[in-house]
Amino acid sequence: MIHQLHALLEGSYEEMVSIRRYLHQHPELSFQETKTAAFISDYYQNLGIECQSNVGGHGVVAKITGSKPGKTVALRADFDALPIQDEKEVSYRSTVPGVMHACGHDGHTATLLVLAKNLHELKDELEGQYIFIHQHAEEYAPGGAKPMIDAGCLDGVDVIFGTHLWATAPTGTVQYTLGPIMAAADRFEILIQGQGGHGAQPHKTRDAIVVGSQLVVALQQIVSRRLNPLDSAVITIGSFVADNAFNVIADKAKIVGTVRTFKEDLRSFISEEIERVVKGTCLAADCTYDYKYFQGYPAVIPHNEETKFLIECTKSVKEVLVAEEIDPDMTGEDFSYYLQKVKGTFFFTGAKPKNDVHTYPHHHPLFDIDEKAMLIAAKTLGTAAVTYHNKYSSTQGE
């Protein structure tokens, strides 16, 4: 069965590339993916695969039922793009100004669609059910995963597998962790209210820029001096905005940043520490403030048994040269919600473009992938799904 599936996938590789390039040329932003969702639905309907649209928003869920009883395995791919101008000089460059698939979600979608098509061809030999979750809005919290789960996409699911094409890891590499693989991603906003005035008369003002500058430095001490050195966390200031006249002292300044953690208790602790620092700094400068903290996606924490099972499955994929354990990454992913609901794992599939002098990271205007990585991802996910049935279906009902 596994050899048959791999052969079908190899024969469908060009279709996978064609789908990915079409999607790359026609990206849509989070919560706006109407045409992409329709493309996915049409693909399944044309194959005669059971499909449900508008799941939790623009989500699409397809289902294949094998001829034999067994477990229910879910596979997930996301399909939203980013507000980035595509600067690549390639034939499949984005045709939408200021919007680009700069994270590989087009590749995720092409991978899952073609894998579903090939599994459908083998359905008479399959056990159990296969659920294909095509998720909208991964890039922008509150994201698409939670509303899709609330709408029932995981109902009856025993296990879920997902991957992210990883453009900074060599093609042929599968990367995993035993423990968290991606961080919780939170956001905060601080509005400092001082008293503006003439740049030549600072003694008559309360300078919001000076207070904000002190905060930028002081907030870094939360990680370096308030946390256990064995705990990982990041506080990054991404935006600092104030008045821009050269001879005016600003009366207000806005600071926006992100917090990344792996432990739930650290999220609330850091939120409280940020406000403590803001309150003290503003009090000393006789300024007022408004502080908001927004919890984003939780940390992505794969289940160890399913991760070890997945790594065993990679041994059946000839294109996987290395399966390696890595350090967790501080980026975020709402796949975390699926893993809070059911057992499963999430891994990176190396997709570093070959013959490139520079490797451009995710969310970069020149981002691209080695499309061969899609075949590796499809084989790995397909092998895990089919093998899971073979290994665990006999225990169903126990």
Domain containing 377 — which CATH number? Answer: 3.40.630.10
Banded model confidence at residue 398, pLDDT cuts 50, 70, 90? very low
Give per-residue pLDDT as tens, 8-47. 999 999 999 999 999 999 999 999 999 999 999 999 999 9
Among 273, 297, 321, where does a domain finish? 297
Task: Indicate if the pLDDT at residue 395 is higher than 70.
Answer: no
Whether residues 257 and 305 share a domain: the answer is no
Query: Residue 158's pLDDT is what?
Result: 98
Whether residues 264 and 228 share a domain: the answer is yes
Residue 139 labeled ligand binder:
yes
Domain span at residue 362?
Answer: 2-182+300-395
Task: Indicate if the pLDDT at residue 396 is higher than 50.
Answer: no
| Rounded-to-5 percentages of helix, strand, coil across the chain | 35, 30, 35
Whether residues 134 and 210 share a domain: the answer is no
CATH code, domain with 268: 3.30.70.360
Question: What's the pTM value of the predicted model, to 2 decimals?
Answer: 0.94
Whether residues 87 and 73 share a domain: the answer is yes
Compute the residue count for the chain: 398
Other C-beta atoms closer than 10 Å to the C-beta of 154 total 23
Give per-residue pLDDT as tens, 151-192. 999 999 999 999 999 999 999 999 999 999 999 999 999 999
Residues 20-32 as b/e (b if ≥16 CB within 10 A, e otherwise) read: bbebbbbbbbbbe
Whether residues 34 and 160 share a domain: the answer is yes
What is the spatial distance between Cα 4 and Cα 26, in angstroms, rounded to a whole number?
Answer: 33
Whether residues 252 and 123 share a domain: the answer is no
Three-state SS at 32? coil
Banded model confidence at residue 355, pLDDT cuts 50, 70, 90? confident
Beta strands (DSSP E) in the chain are: 50-55, 59-65, 68-78, 127-135, 159-166, 173-176, 184-193, 197-198, 233-242, 248-249, 252-261, 288-297, 322-325, 343-350
Average pLDDT of the chain, as a whole number: 96
Whether residues 63 and 146 share a domain: the answer is yes
Whether residues 15 and 119 share a domain: the answer is yes
Average of per-residue pLDDT across 81-102: 98
Average of per-residue pLDDT across 89-104: 98
Among 237, 266, 297, where does a domain finish? 297
Residue 153 labeled ligand binder:
no
Average of per-residue pLDDT across 345-360: 89
Query: Residue 397's pLDDT is what?
Result: 43
Banded model confidence at residue 394, pLDDT cuts 50, 70, 90? low
Whether residues 163 and 193 share a domain: the answer is no
Query: Residue 43's pLDDT is what?
Result: 98
Whether residues 15 and 160 share a domain: the answer is yes
Give per-residue pLDDT as tens, 200-220. 999 999 999 999 999 999 999
Among 297, 323, 341, where does a domain finish? 297
Q: Which amino acid is at 191?
A: L
Query: Residue 293's pLDDT is what?
Result: 98
Whether residues 346 and 336 share a domain: the answer is yes
Residue 272 labeled ligand binder:
no
Give per-residue pLDDT as tens, 243-263. 889 999 999 999 999 999 999
Query: Number of folded domains in the chain?
Result: 2
Banded model confidence at residue 362, pLDDT cuts 50, 70, 90? very high
Measured in whole angstroms, how far is the alpha carbon of residue 98 from the centre of its chain? 20
What is the spatial distance between Cα 275 and Cα 281, in angstroms, rounded to a whole number?
Answer: 10
Query: Residue 29's pLDDT is what?
Result: 98
Give per-residue pLDDT as tens, 311-321. 999 999 999 99
Average of per-residue pLDDT across 111-116: 98
Give per-residue pLDDT as tens, 255-284. 999 999 999 999 999 999 999 999 999 999
pLDDT exceeding 90 applies to what percent of the chain?
95
Whether residues 316 and 270 share a domain: the answer is no
Catalytic residues: 80, 138
